[in-house]
Amino acid sequence: MELVEAGAVTAPPITTFDLSQAEAAHRLSESRHLRGKLVFAVRGSEGG
């Protein structure tokens, strides 16, 4: 934890997209300008 607090270790950024933005997320990942992870937010599907 000391390394994180000192700024020596950082987590990669996370970019969140709505599922309706999947095409834009794919373009971003294919452009090689993406650092970190893509996350898709799926709302309204609780309980299966």
Identify the pLDDT of residue 44.
65
4 within some domain:
no
Torsions phi, psi for 13 (to 5 deg): -65, 155
pLDDT tens digits for range 3-46? 888 989 887 778 889 989 999 988 888 887 777 788 888 876 55
| Among candidate residues 17, 20, 19, the one with its CA nearest the CA of residue 28 | 17
19 within some domain:
yes
Domain extent, residue 32, equals: 10-48
Identify the pLDDT of residue 18.
92
Looking at the structure of the chain, the number of domains it has is 1
Identify the pLDDT of residue 48.
46
**Radius of gyration of the chain from Cα atoms?**
15
What is the rounded distance in angstroms from the CA atom of residue 43 to the CA atom of residue 20? Answer: 11
